[in-house]
Structure 1
Amino acid sequence: MNSRDKKVFLWSGPRNISTALMYSFAQRQDTVVVDEPLYAHYLTRSPAKPLHPGADDILSSMEVNGEKVIEGMQKEGKKQVTFFKNMSHHLIGLDWDFMKSGANVILTRDPKDMLMSFSEVIEEPEMSDIGYAIQLELLDYFTSIKLPFVVLDAKKVLKHPEDQLYKLCNFLNIPFDHAMLSWQKGPIPEDGVWAKYWYKNVHLSTGFQPYRQKDITFPERLIPLLKECQPIYEKLLKDAL
């Protein structure tokens, strides 16, 4: 990457700490953040559109052609660093070659925690909705072409935010900035139009919230999906910071 035009591609699943991480990077003076630029593309290629609140607003306010979105992602950024918050399952039908132009970060989360949270909005999720399988494909892709990448585990970030962000910045070859550890309550201008449906907890926060194990009975209907996700999560953890 050009030292004055670093691109960071975050590949997350839903109901993770991806929005908090975007808010963290938004505090840097050298960074501009972009919120899920491929969301509209995903909605045009996925049968999940009826399940996503605000889908019509997303489609009317964003570029729906994923190839054009990727072209835009390749342009020189307005600041030294451009942080693209992406959902891994938004990559339907796209060529991954563009990932070579930036630093790639896979953000994963314990599937038990993720599924509990995601099912509060979409009651019957499928693997194609939550990104674990594609994250494993991304890991294998990066490994096969020897493209450097890093895996972040949400639980470790919440338990040790400064340490994890310091290590992440070291991987990205940018200086760690303590400003990344906190932000003001409320939305930021870079929020997608879907923020009112998904970002309530981040809007109420002023930093990474301490990890707390929820004492809630896991829904039986989600156990088969959990069993699919768990071995993928464990494999991803082997490359985690």
Structure 2
Amino acid sequence: MTHPIIFLWAHPRSRSTAFLRMMLERGDFLVLHEPFSSITVQGHAQMAEESATSATELLGLLEVAAEKSPVFIKETTEYRYDILDDPRLSHLGEHTFIIRDPGPTLASHYAMNPQFTCDEVGYEHQVEIFDLVRKSTGRTPLVMEAEKLVKEPEPVIRHYCLETGIPFRKSALTWEPGEQQAWSRTSEWHQAVARSTGFHSSESTYPVSVENNRMLAGYHSHHVPFYEFLRSHAFTAETDAKPTRGYR
């Protein structure tokens, strides 16, 4: 493997697709949108000319792809993937995380899918991956807060690039609106980012929320401890951190 592999582990509705849109705009990465989820939902994930039908097979394809170019994977944590039991995962690439306050996250998730389960909220699965990577590598993974990303994208992205050892590209912070093939399988979930031209901090309002819905309130109580744990490890400002991986 001669080029970096970067994972962004994201609970649903965390603004992670906007981050992926920025990575597409860079133009220097092979960008994959939720390939493990695709295997879970539809039985396969497409990667360029290759197709993987299992998470183990996908890891092998990622290793091969990184011989040709850098690879970025944005993956949702609404499911628990069996790949977490594969010892290769923690050391395959750089694992990063994005989190968003559970209140608006749950309201947004409910608006898209009122039947979603507590497990599908995703924070608990994020913590499992975070702990696995930290214990296996001896390093604390990078955690990014969505609220800070959309409020101050440039310093947050600069820090992310510094920590992951990739060049910062200011030009990628803005883009032309439009649907992207990368997220075509779940395009109905990404209409806001399809209309966007960059990171924006505006919040939508929803009629159903944790304040007036018992199910959402219960989900909120369950997941807040996991969210707060991850938030305790989130970076707060750009620092003098040194790159953790080389880049070619």
Partner of 1:159: 151
Q: Distance in 2 between matches of 1:175 and 1:83?
A: 14
Say if 1:134 and 1:61 are closer, same or farther in 2 by CA, change over 3 A: closer
Alignment-mate amino acid for residue 236 of structure 1: L
Report 1:209-228 matches (<5 A).
Answer: 209-212=200-203, 214=205, 218=209, 219-221=212-214, 222-228=216-222
Paired residue total: 224
Q: Distance in 1 between matches of 2:72 and 2:194?
A: 19
Partner of 1:71: 60
Report 1:120-139 matches (<5 A).
Answer: 120-139=111-130
Q: Does 1:149 align with 2:147?
A: no
Say if 1:61 and 1:33 are closer, same or farther in 2 by CA, change over 3 A: closer
Q: Distance in 1 between matches of 2:81 and 2:4?
A: 25
Q: Distance in 1 between matches of 2:149 and 2:120?
A: 23
RMSD in angstroms over aligned alpha carbons? 2.1
Say if 1:186 and 1:210 are closer, same or farther in 2 by CA, change over 3 A: same
Q: For each residue in 1:30-64, what CA deviation from the matched residue of structure 2 results, as whole angstroms up to 9, or x when unmatched?
A: 22211111123322xxxxxxxxxxxxxx4477543
Alignment-mate amino acid for residue 166 of structure 2: I
Contact 2:90 2:132 in 1 (8 A): no
Contact 2:44 2:54 in 1 (8 A): no
Report 1:173-188 matches (<5 A).
Answer: 173-188=165-180
Q: For each residue in 1:145-199, what CA deviation from the matched residue of structure 2 results, as whole angstroms up to 9, or x when unmatched?
A: 214410111111111111110000000111110022111110223223221x211
Alignment-mate amino acid for residue 100 of structure 1: H
SS at match of 1:207: coil
Alignment-mate amino acid for residue 37 of structure 2: Y
Alignment-mate amino acid for residue 105 of structure 1: T
Report 1:47-62 matches (<5 A).
Answer: 58-59=42-43, 62=46
Report 1:46-125 matches (<5 A).
Answer: 58-59=42-43, 62=46, 63-77=52-66, 80-94=69-83, 95-97=85-87, 98-125=89-116
SS at match of 2:124: helix
Contact 1:34 1:83 in 2 (8 A): yes
Q: CA deviation at 1:210?
A: 1.7
Q: CA deviation at 1:82?
A: 1.0
Identity %: 24
SS at match of 1:89: coil
The structure 2 residue matched to 1:9, chosen from 7, 10, 15, is 7
Partner of 2:16: 18
Say if 1:230 and 1:129 are closer, same or farther in 2 by CA, change over 3 A: same
Q: Distance in 1 between matches of 2:133 and 2:66?
A: 24
TM-score of the superposed pair, with normalisation by structure 2: 0.82
Runs of 4+ in 1 over 6 A off after TM superposition: none
Contact 2:5 2:71 in 1 (8 A): yes
SS at match of 1:199: helix
Contact 2:10 2:75 in 1 (8 A): yes
Q: Distance in 2 between matches of 1:239 and 1:170?
A: 17
Partner of 1:53: none
Q: Distance in 2 between matches of 1:227 and 1:25?
A: 33
Report 1:17-36 matches (<5 A).
Answer: 17-36=15-34
List runs of 5+ in structure 1 lacking aligned partners. 44-57
